Amino acid sequence: MPYPMACAAADRRMSLLLAWMSLLGLMVGYLPVVGMEPRGGVKQSSEHTASPMPPSPSSGSNCSQLTVKLEFSSKVVEHEYIVAFTGYFSAKARHLYISSALRNARSEALDWHIVPRENPASDFPSDFELVHIRRASPSNLLTLEDHPYIKRVTPQRKVFRTLKYIPSPEPAAPCNTTRWTQKWQSWQSSRPLRRTSLSLGSGFWHATGRHSSRRLLRAIPRHVAQILQADVLWQMGHTGSGVKVAVFDTGLSEKHPHFKNVKERTNWTNEKTLDDGLGHGTFVAGVIASMRECQGFAPDSELHIFRVFTNNQVSYTSWFLDAFNYAILKKIDVLNLSIGGPDFMDHPFVDKVWELTANRVIMVSAIGNDGPLYGTLNNPADQMDVIGVGGIDFEDNIARFSSRGMTTWELPGGYGRVKPDIVTYGSGVRGSGMKEGCRSLSGTSVASPVVAGAVTLLASTVLNRELVNPASMKQALIASARRLPGVNMFEQGHGKLDLIRAYQILNSYRPQASLSPSYIDLTECPYMWPYCSQPIYYGGMPTIVNVTILNGMGVTGRIVDKPIWQPYLPQNGDHIDVAMSYSPVLWPWAGYLAVSISVAKKAASWEGIAQGHVMVTVASPAENDSEVGGELTSTVKLPIKVKIVPTPPRSKRVLWDQYHNLRYPPGYFPRDNLRMKNDPLDWNGDHIHTNFRDMYQHLRSMGYFVEVLGAPITCFDASQYGTLLMVDSEEEYFPEEITKLRRDIDNGLSLIIFSDWYNTSVMRKVKFYDENTRQWWMPDTGGANIPALNDLISVWGMAFSDGLYEGDFTMADHDMYYASGCSIARFPEDGIVIAKNLKDQGLEVLKQETAVVEGVPILGLYQTPSDGGGRIALYGDSNCIDDSHRQKDCFWLLDALLQYTSYSMTPPSLSHSHSRVAPPTGTERPLPQRLDGNHLYRYSKVLEAHLGDPKPRPLPACPHLSWAKPQPLNETAPSNLWKHQKLLSVDLDKVALPNVRLYRPQVRPLSPGESGAWDIPGGIMPGRYNQEVGQTIPVFAFLGAMVVLSFFVVQLTKAKSKPKRRKPRVKRPTYLQQQQQQTTGKNPTV
């Protein structure tokens, strides 16, 4: 039925309304409905074996999404040694020095020659030589090191890195689209023996438990440079020009379409090619400097490609050393190193890293993919002068794979430093494919080039390049970083990379010193975990905070006079004592300030907050000062805020023995769980804040106060503590320690020991051949040092055996797993012993046979007979409280043992257990003995070399802290120490940014090989901001639609209700009216 003519105008308005609603429908179609979840399934990584070459992208797509599995191993090259010199010498001089040294060797038939190194650095002086010695003896090597110009002789190492590209189980998404699906995967870390590339793949994009009910269904494509707003700096004309950036990786193809300024490609391997046969190096270079598709940060930077891995994924230490020397010669500005390993005592490598940064090379390195376990930082990212980078996903969650702090090479006497320095995107980041196109990878080796690219771009924005050095760049990055809420400093460092704020800070920077962390607030949780997790009190072990001093004034510096402690009297600063130790020389660019905090005696029963600050003045030689001996100085303030409580009762205080825990490096200390063949080394520090973090958190939740003993047993007052907790001890004991512990237990101290396996036959089985000495390298202990523990507890008639057991069982209605533990061989007859049926793992390791042993004694409880004496509890396995490879925790058992030792309350579930057996007498088999020929004395703090068997060293003096003389101030501290701290002379308002107009580019046809992803300058930022946008945009869209709909409804209503207007009468001229009247004689009707 046709519409009436009167409704034609309204119909046109209705059509326009429908058109608007259709357009709004299209707009809202790209926006989420409130509460809508994106579609996606659970993704599991498969273990298919793939060829070492990466699969080519599928036809019709310029993007591939791969998961990368890494395997890593290394071995000593037979007869080859790296001879490091004290300076740089010509090839002729190096040959002369080596000849002179070996001429004095005792062996006349010594066969040696210098291994030729054909690479770009061979024409320049060098500080090392690679020597092949056929029949080298330890005396020959010592003769070499005795030469005045030879610093060190170390074996050459061959490194194998295996990248396995695994097809993604889910259908590959087109390169132009982004799928924001949450990917979950049960991921197990594999910690390398040496250094490895730190990439994972898109399959390793993890969430950390934070749930968001709203997110963008169609998110911005992950061009990480644009997400971090690099395009703001591009529009200002900064694109990385004039900055030399080096990529140490697997090479780069010559005619890759993504790169326009590859200044030099060098090959340091024994293969005659410069191309990348693996794709990893191309990806890293693309994140830094790609000019199209998956665009990098600094497309106009000078790209220097160092190929240090072969297509077979092999490298040598000497290749890295030569390449590092060449980078110094070429005056590289920024160097990305997406490799890492746990060996912070690899001296040639670490020394060369220091030398690089001393030559103003800004080194950026990945912290490792060994998370979420704490104490898993990789070297060289754990060094003070290196920018260590961790990974987050695009929702600003710490990536599960990203390694956590603290640094562990300060243990046992000190405390680790804050690392990583900063975090940035490292999950599902897009970068250049091996030949063309893009692909996505994950890992901290992805986050590292993101920061390296950002650093390159930032360096190009500074007019005075002399201000840019490893310290000033690091200061700008950490001062500008955005702190992530709910994340502690050992996970995020100083926070998330903020490129624009870093630009503002760097361009108003004045050379100065700064501190990392910039303040100490033991009340601020969770950021200051673990310091904030436990208040301090009188009589407790001093709290040690290891602060890094960054010196932006010069490569070397010193602390003037001594740091000054100034307590705030109005805020009870005189209730705490402070002691400080520090680096005598700050080099290169950094040093340490160790602050020990203790409670004054007058606050023994006081509770409250105490504050003050430490003043430190740093001086550096003025490089451009015309006056000889001129210095630059900078004074920095370290605010301190602590919570003090009255000293808790003895029964609530637990002392953790850190002094007797040993770790890799330097020695071969095997993992406590022998099932973990891909992770054979015990390298996490065995500290309550690293791989025993969960246990510590549990004890704190139960009301216990846990302190750390970093000195011999003779150095603590046992009357202050209820229980001494020894877990996984590998060290020997001084005779004085054994005597004192017996006396302490007689006087009421209790002892809990969690042991581990020790079997000399199994230790020989897990040995490996050292080509250096042509000897087998065996573990220096087992999972624990059972012979030393037996010496400690033998006075009470107790001992552990060398049995090796594993298995599942139930104890007190709790499911338990015994992982490579030992059994109790001897126990007092009036004690309580619990036994279980377990598998003989030792038999399985030695003979590949399976047998079940019934009635294995694993738990013992004993009350010492002396009046008021303490109690002793033994358990044969520590894996159930160790985060490293724990399968089933036994925190309930630790609670029960502490109830027994602290309060003499025997758990009925244990004393009346059906598994209780008669205590073993130890007569069935001999007790375990120390392995003949072990080298534990090389790494021990207790033993020293001696003719025949090693003997104990003299007992060291207990550490004595020199408390700083306070200089009280009658002032108060700011309420927020974090926001109060900033770099000096930095005013962000003075650094103007361009008025960037946000726009959506016009749709146009794509050129061949071009990505279809939108190029959105200053686009929507990801993460929590993205979540807010996802929540607000639908609201505004709905309100806008309602406004438009209301407007048209009102117009339509008006059109229907308004009466029709008459047409106005047009007055005709008079002569026409007279003419018409004469013709008709009538007036016209209206």
Which residues are catalytically annotated? 249, 280, 445
Count other Cβ atoms within 10 Å, centred on residue 228: 26
**Residue with token string 């020997």:** 732
d(CA 402, CA 198): 10
CA distances from 1055 to 12, 655, 717 (A): 11, 86, 94
**Residue with token string 């760097």:** 506
Count other Cβ atoms within 10 Å, centred on residue 813: 7
Count other Cβ atoms within 10 Å, centred on residue 33: 11
For residue 119, how far is the Cα from the chain centroid?
34
Cα–Cα–Cα angle for 223, 459, 308, rounded to 5 degrees:
70
Count other Cβ atoms within 10 Å, centred on residue 931: 20
Token pair in block for residue 275: 């191309």
Count other Cβ atoms within 10 Å, centred on residue 560: 14
Sequential DSSP letters for 487-533: --HHHHTT-B--HHHHHHHHTT----EEEESS-EETT-TTTTTTGGG
Residues 6+ apart with CB under 8 A from 438: 62, 63, 64, 175, 286, 293, 294, 430, 431, 432, 1011
d(CA 233, CA 239): 7
| CA count, 13 A, side-chain hemisphere, 951 | 4
Segment holding 895, helix H or strand E: helix 891-903
Specify whether the CB–CB gap between 588 and 358 falls below 8 A: yes
Specify whether the CB–CB gap between 212 and 1027 falls below 8 A: yes
Token pair in block for residue 458: 């930032």
Judged on CB neighbours under 10 Å (0-12, 13-18, 19+), 39 is exposed
Token pair in block for residue 587: 């080099």
Specify whether the CB–CB gap between 58 and 64 falls below 8 A: yes
Nearest to 809 by CA among 857, 743, 863: 857
Burial 874-908 (b: 16+ CB within 10 A, else e): bbbbbbbbbbbbbeebbbbbbebbbebbbeeebbe
**Residue with token string 């209730």:** 575
Specify whether the CB–CB gap between 358 and 380 falls below 8 A: no
Whole-angstrom Cα Rg for the chain: 35
Specify whether the CB–CB gap between 658 and 709 falls below 8 A: yes
Cis amide bond preceding 1001, omega within 30: no
Cis amide bond preceding 712, omega within 30: no
Residues 6+ apart with CB under 8 A from 184: 42, 43, 206, 207
Sequential DSSP letters for 1025-1076: HHHHHHHHHHHHHHHHHHHHHHHHHHHHHHHHHSPPPPPPPPPPPHHHHHHH
d(CA 373, CA 553): 36
Token pair in block for residue 109: 């038939």
